Amino acid sequence: MARLLRLLHILHTIGRYRLDDLLRNPQSPRTLKMLLLAYRVYPKVDEPRGMRLRKAFEELGPIFVKFGQQLSTRPDLMPPDIVSELDRLQDNVAPFSSDLFIEIVERALGKPIDQLFKHFDREPLASASVAQVHTAELHSGEEVVVKAVRPGLEPTIEKDTSLLRWFAELVEKYSSEGRRLRPVEVVDEYRDTIFDELDLCREGANATQLRRNFEGSDMLYIPEVYWDYTRQNVLVLERIYGHSVTDSENLKANGIDLKVLAERGVEVFFTQVFDHNFFHADMHPGNVFISKLHPHNPSYMAVDMAIVGSLTREDQYYLARNLLAMFRRDYRQVAELHVLSGWVPKGTSVSGFEAAIRAVCEPIFEKPLKEISFGQALISLFRTARRYRMPVQPQLVLLQKTLLNIEGMGRQIYPDLDLWATAHPFLERWVRERFSPKALLKDFQYHSPEWIEKFPQVPHLIFDTVTEVKQLAQIAPQLKAASEALRDSESRSSRRLRNSVLNVIAFGLLGSGIWLALQESPQLGALSPQTILLLMTGLVALIIK
């Protein structure tokens, strides 16, 4: 009964915001058009489709808000106007009871709250769709934040995602645009992502790895995880204090060099992607702050490491070379790299793909470099590749979204940010160092224990291979004879099948002609042209069979 009521609420919300317009197009099947007619009873809403979709998600609650945020990370699938609107979804959800929060923490950590913390603030610091955060102080004096997963989320997620999947299946079945956007795949991906976010140990592990990667760096600070106080549904982190990344006036007032800050944000991103191969994939303004220390040498601080990404070594290399080639306008190399990397099928026409990339990129590069959106250029490149049957690359999708976030924040901080001027030398250095003698020696040292372990087996493997080759050479004549016999047998079967089909067709045509001839007249001259054609065709088919 509860599921039925929830379904009715969702259907009513679709009508209130006239989301049926997203499914209606001239190519829609008649059945879908008839079903959507029921929504005509709702008044028309004079708002852009993206805004209507965002408001509907906000009304339907936290799980749908989170789903909208997930959709906003798929610029490869969603239209730009919807992506930009869903980017505005805020995770400000009404907090749940502080008593219930304390009960969750006490049950997870096995002690009363006053034994765990010297001081605990009952007023929540932040409340989101998946978790709630309170501040506290450890008995040892460290200030911390305590994060706990909302209670009873799993049944709600199961119920709402099953309904979302049902809608996605309908959209995919009845809408050609829906099939292009692959909504079922998006819903399944969302379900996996949100269940991953329920595991705060995973988030803690991600934070620890990022902290280790930037240990001693003055570019990015990651708060410490207190593992003794962390469980699957509770996470305790060092509390940090910083400026909002979006408050440019406040940053200026505090003497922070905005140009350096914006360029350093780009450097942080590329360092994570290429040097560390482990990047924070949810770096929107709510998760990034500016340290109050050293305003002339500003650094970032990041929280909420639930979503991270990484690339294979091959993807790192091809991506770096793609970006360098794209900004040199060497579209031939871009096309060749896509084929070499396996991002598009091996049989793809390099010349045709090159022309398609040129058509997309040339208008972009007619602008001054500082006006070029690096992230949008990358998205345009991958969208073009999708037309050549490039499969979805989840790691590249995360990368696109993160790059858009970083670029957007950078330009908000310093509007004249020339992202390419910052990224270009970094990428050139990385590609150069990738094949330096030092890097090759490092790779050798990394793999040498495995090679040494396997080396004693090499003579046996060579001997076994030679033996197998000899055995194959001995039976090759028998295999060849068997292959020829099979080919002859298949040829005879094929001829018999062809003759049988021709017989059926010939006798069918001839029989039809004779039957019509008997119906029309026993005299040949009185037969109609259609009957004569049938008789002649049947006779010809019998002769050539």
Give the whole-angstrom CA distance, residue 251 versus residue 273. Answer: 27
Placement of tokens 């008044």 in the chain:
43
| Cβ atoms of residues 404 and 376 within 8 Å | yes
The torsion angles phi and psi of 104, rounded to 5 degrees, stand at -65, -45
Give the whole-angstrom CA distance, residue 184 versus residue 164. Answer: 9
Give the whole-angstrom CA distance, residue 489 versus residue 471. Answer: 27
Q: What is the pLDDT of residue 120?
A: 96
Q: Which residue type is seen at 380?
A: S
Q: What is the pLDDT of residue 317?
A: 86
Identify the DSSP state of 289. E
DSSP-based three-state secondary structure for 126? strand
Q: What is the pLDDT of residue 369?
A: 59
Q: Show Cβ contacts of residue 462 under 8 Å, excluding neighbours closer than 6 positions.
A: none
Bridge partners (DSSP) of residue 143 are 137
Tokens of 358: 């040129």
Closest by Cα among 199, 370, 408 to 283: 408
DSSP-based three-state secondary structure for 245? coil
> pLDDT 10s digit of each residue in the chain, 545 long?
666 677 777 778 888 888 777 766 655 556 556 666 666 767 888 888 889 888 888 888 777 887 787 777 666 567 778 878 887 776 667 788 999 999 999 999 999 999 999 999 999 998 887 899 999 999 999 999 999 998 888 888 888 888 888 877 877 776 665 665 677 877 787 788 788 888 999 999 999 999 999 998 989 999 999 999 999 999 999 999 999 887 888 888 888 988 888 888 889 988 999 999 999 988 877 889 999 888 888 899 999 998 888 888 888 888 888 888 887 888 898 888 888 877 777 778 888 888 888 887 787 776 665 676 777 777 777 777 777 776 656 667 777 777 777 877 887 788 887 777 788 888 888 888 877 777 677 776 666 677 677 667 767 767 777 777 677 677 767 767 776 776 666 566 555 545 554 554 555 555 555 655 555 555 545 556 555 555 565 555 555 55
What strand order describes the sheet that includes 220-221? 220-221, 300-302, 288-291, 242-244
Q: What is the pLDDT of residue 184?
A: 80
Tokens of 440: 């090759």
315 is catalytic: no
Residue tagged active-site, from 87, 160, 282, 304:
282
| Cβ atoms of residues 232 and 201 within 8 Å | yes
Long-range contacts of 534-537 (CB under 8 A, 24+ apart): 534/509, 534/510, 535/509, 535/510, 537/509, 537/513
Give the whole-angstrom CA distance, residue 199 versus residue 64. Answer: 19
Q: What is the pLDDT of residue 176?
A: 61
User: What's the Cα-to-Cα distance from 6 to each of 3, 64, 160, 221, 360, rounded to whole Å?
Assistant: 5, 12, 8, 43, 44
| Cβ atoms of residues 306 and 197 within 8 Å | yes
The torsion angles phi and psi of 240, rounded to 5 degrees, stand at -120, 155
| Cβ atoms of residues 319 and 293 within 8 Å | no
A 10 A CB-CB count for 239 gives: 16
> β-pairing, 300-302 with 220-221?
parallel
Give the whole-angstrom CA distance, residue 35 versus residue 57. Answer: 22
Q: What is the pLDDT of residue 501?
A: 47
